[in-house]
Amino acid sequence: MDTKVNSPHAAPPLDRIDEAIIEVLRHDGRITYEKLSSLVHLTPRPCLERVRKLERRGVIRGYSAIIDVQKVSPGLSLLVLVALSNQSGRAAQKAFEACVNACPQVFDCQLISGHFDYSLRMRCRDMEHYRVLTETWMNNDELHIDKLVAHPELAVVKNTAPQL
């Protein structure tokens, strides 16, 4: 989304009704349009049109279910911090990002600031699976990985969508 204020192509800002729709859908993406419209004080048709507009603008990127992964696929969840070598450059970043995008064990990746370059959330069968996977990354000269630090998840304390 273009955030330039004076740009002729800038998307109009969200109004209070758009924000109310987003807040309701963030907590219940399966709500009916009839119920949603009553909660945001619109009739169903304009409410549906607003939701579709938010989807087209990319404000609403999709809908999902919150899955208890431990019940579906027992294993190990990890937070992994990754530092690339200082002289690696943009080519290494692109190679690393392509690698994690292609890796089904990585389900979240953020470019971060500080001593590390990336924060990953991963799911592996066990520590041996994690070790083998990350060893292949460390041995890939295109990735220029300097350091990997893994933090196994002990328990989920809170798991919600980001607040606005």
The mean pLDDT of 106-110, rounded to a whole number, is 95
Range of the domain at 4: 1-66
117 assigned to some structural domain: yes
Domain identity same for 60 and 11: yes
The amino acid occupying position 163 is: Q
Answer with the residue of higher pLDDT: 74 or 84: 84
What mean pLDDT, rounded, does the chain reach?
Answer: 89
pTM: 0.71
CATH value at residue 23: 1.10.10.10
Give pLDDT, residue 2.
42
**Dihedral sign for Cα atoms in the order 33, 35, 37, 40:** negative
Radius of gyration of the chain (CA): 20
Average pLDDT over residues 34-61: 95
Question: Residue 73's pLDDT is what?
Answer: 77
The arithmetic mean of pLDDT across residues 130-153, rounded, is 96
Residue 147, pLDDT > 50, answer yes
Q: Are residues 47 and 82 in the same domain?
A: no
> pLDDT exceeding 70 applies to what percent of the chain?
91
pLDDT confidence band for 1 (50 / 70 / 90): very low
Q: Is 29 exposed, middle or buried (0-12, 13-18, 19+ CB in 10 A)?
A: middle
The pLDDT of residue 11 is 74
Domain count, the chain: 2
Nearest to 79 by CA among 126, 134, 119, 125: 119
Element (H, E) at 118: strand 118-124
147 and 80, same structural domain? yes
pLDDT of 20 > 90? The answer is: yes
How does pLDDT run across 21-44, given as a tens digit for each residue? Answer: 999 998 899 999 999 999 999 999
- On whether residue 19 sits in a domain, the answer given is yes
Reported as a pLDDT band with limits 50, 70 and 90, residue 104 is: very high
